[in-house]
Structure 1
């Protein structure tokens, strides 16, 4: 049975960023990832200014910037193409020190993985249980192997079995809407604007990425776990969104079937504890959020930098984990709940409520939007 001082369960964005942050404080953590190969799910994501500031702090922002695309502006339209709201992403981002970026998850994983030592990430190791003892934890894996560690950082996502053991009352919430994600060819369309379209039959988001491709997502209200959606084709989705303004339909048709990903949108109902002695939950294992504010990965990245700082400033690991919990609980809870509320607003199918919503968004003073951006982006490392 092998032993390490620090172990990270989960090799996603939270786990890899944390491993890099710990490495810079002199801690080499073993990283165990369930997948046999790194195959990023979700296609694309936004790295908002707060996440990019964290990567600046770690000294890897420039490499990520080269792999991404600057998000200059973000607009919301109704299904007929009339603007509901518009945000100039550059002005507030510069105020907070750096721009927002969009990036393909595969590119972000590549950059993060390149900063770790060969063999530091161990694939095909799905953790299913832990057994605490006086000196640490035995981590039990699906392949019937086990690993001993003194300190454990759990970053294995929203469905974390370790969190479920520690907090059996923790609950994953279904948002009420399901989602398809895809990558489309942008060479002919040349879409340059990031946007969302809010219609009565669903919502469609667009984010251009580097390399002349578009990351897009399409959400509709639906019962949970509908198996028919798993086999939806590009043509099925084109039919669903046929009444939306262009280039929505064209983007769907520029997508190969093997580039479609489907899943229900869920979050983790806010929990009351991240730290458990020499064990701590981070990222989606601690505070999974719906994607409506674009903050899921961003909050995990913040976690990594702040956890490393606490470990550097505390002589006892349990004290560091408890300090991390105290710093992160209120902020992540606020973002989870605000994102949940925003999804309900965006997904309404009631024509009268949608009309009122659109009018209120058009009339909303810029100061209101600025306060929300300040809450998201203003973070110190």
Structure 2
């Protein structure tokens, strides 16, 4: 089939790479004039690596990633609350720099098939084809169009005009530092407190990915003006590990974004157009599944197109991915609401419940991620 992928992010490049491997005529259209990535670290769960193994994409990710065994959750007073064990099924979970992951995925798509400066403005469908219209005047016809154009997807907005990003109520700062803490290399930390959360996640070669989230108004000008000294002052009462990480952060290289997700859609398919990744099911980052779910979409779609006729493949993709990603969106939203509460009473209740819960019970709450159907 002749297939267009709109968007050259993680989901789009994964889909393009897998479909190229399986013999399809694939073109990737990116609206920007470069493929530079803005981001810090991402988590790739064992569910995703297992799904990629049959297509020989997992090996490089495992080699360039840092294995992650557990995430410890503590209070802002350094009180242990619980630990999420990542290797319940003895399979590898890794963290990896977004830029590194993107470079790995790029190698699976022929350079000449990634077309920059192509901003989609319109598409028109017939029963068995889609015609794309780009701002630069280019027009092309395809058998299938995969929209991987992110949370502000032009394609999704055309299909679902009322589907707009929903603000989660908090903003997030992120960065990467080279700092060795007194931690196991395969262990991440999260501190939950009245003023917000601070996470420290290992990357390869003694690098650490850090993030912090604070309750804020949407487009809050106070937080938009924050730089390194402001973050140091804001988290000055947090444990020493937090202060060390912020001390190690350079003055530049700090990213800040408000957090959004989407109200779960009833369908990801419209004729011969299919939504994938954040365009279909953008979620808050509380489960570390944004990149992973986009990759799972790509694997599932490729599996189904290889096994079925196109109509049957899209119907099946729609059924299993809408159901699974809805659970991820809602679970992640629930975790964020609990973790971001600033109510003293609610924090006491939450922390007490976390301490009572066994680590195995906590891990079971996310075990559904391992049960995603991929065909």
Query: TM-score, with normalisation over the residues of structure 1?
Result: 0.93
* C-alpha contact 1:93 1:100 (8 A) present in aligned 2: no
Kindly state the Cα deviation for residue 49 of structure 1 after the two structures are TM-superposed: 1.1
SS in 1 for 2:252: helix
- In 2, the alpha carbon distance for the partners of 1:133 and 1:33 equals 24
Aligned to 2:169: 176
Verify: 1:362 aligned to 2:359, yes or no: no
The one of 11, 25, 28 equivalent to 1:28 is 25
Name the count of aligned residue pairs.
Answer: 373
- In 1, the alpha carbon distance for the partners of 2:291 and 2:129 equals 29
Q: What does the per-residue CA deviation read over 1:113-149, in whole Å, with 9 as the maximum and x for residues that have no partner?
A: 1122121211222223223346522323333433332
The one of 26, 36, 39 equivalent to 2:36 is 39
Query: How does 1:213-252 map onto structure 2 within 5 Å?
Result: 213-252=207-246
Aligned to 1:204: 198
Query: How does 1:141-180 map onto structure 2 within 5 Å?
Result: 141-180=134-173
The one of 81, 94, 99 equivalent to 1:101 is 94
Aligned to 1:265: 259
The one of 303, 308, 313 equivalent to 2:307 is 313
Which blocks of at least 5 consecutive residues in structure 1 are unaligned? none
- In 2, the alpha carbon distance for the partners of 1:352 and 1:58 equals 49
Kindly state the Cα deviation for residue 371 of structure 1 after the two structures are TM-superposed: 2.3
Kindly state the Cα deviation for residue 19 of structure 1 after the two structures are TM-superposed: 1.1
Residues 293, 307 of structure 1: CA spacing in aligned structure 2 closer, same or farther, 3 A cutoff? same
Q: What does the per-residue CA deviation read over 1:275-298, in whole Å, with 9 as the maximum and x for residues that have no partner?
A: 111111111111111010111111
* C-alpha contact 2:147 2:273 (8 A) present in aligned 1: yes
- In 2, the alpha carbon distance for the partners of 1:19 and 1:374 equals 29
Q: What does the per-residue CA deviation read over 1:257-304, in whole Å, with 9 as the maximum and x for residues that have no partner?
A: 321111100001111111111111111111111010111111111111
Aligned-pair RMSD on alpha carbons? 1.8
- In 1, the alpha carbon distance for the partners of 2:179 and 2:137 equals 46
* C-alpha contact 1:279 1:321 (8 A) present in aligned 2: no
- In 2, the alpha carbon distance for the partners of 1:301 and 1:272 equals 20
Aligned to 1:125: 118
* C-alpha contact 1:190 1:212 (8 A) present in aligned 2: no
- In 1, the alpha carbon distance for the partners of 2:345 and 2:365 equals 26
The one of 324, 329, 334 equivalent to 1:336 is 329
SS in 2 for 1:17: helix
Q: What does the per-residue CA deviation read over 1:42-80, in whole Å, with 9 as the maximum and x for residues that have no partner?
A: 211000111111221321211111111000221001001
SS in 2 for 1:143: coil
* C-alpha contact 1:13 1:300 (8 A) present in aligned 2: yes
Kindly state the Cα deviation for residue 256 of structure 1 after the two structures are TM-superposed: 1.7
Aligned to 1:64: 61
Which blocks of at least 5 consecutive residues in structure 2 are unaligned? none
Query: TM-score, with normalisation over the residues of structure 2?
Result: 0.95
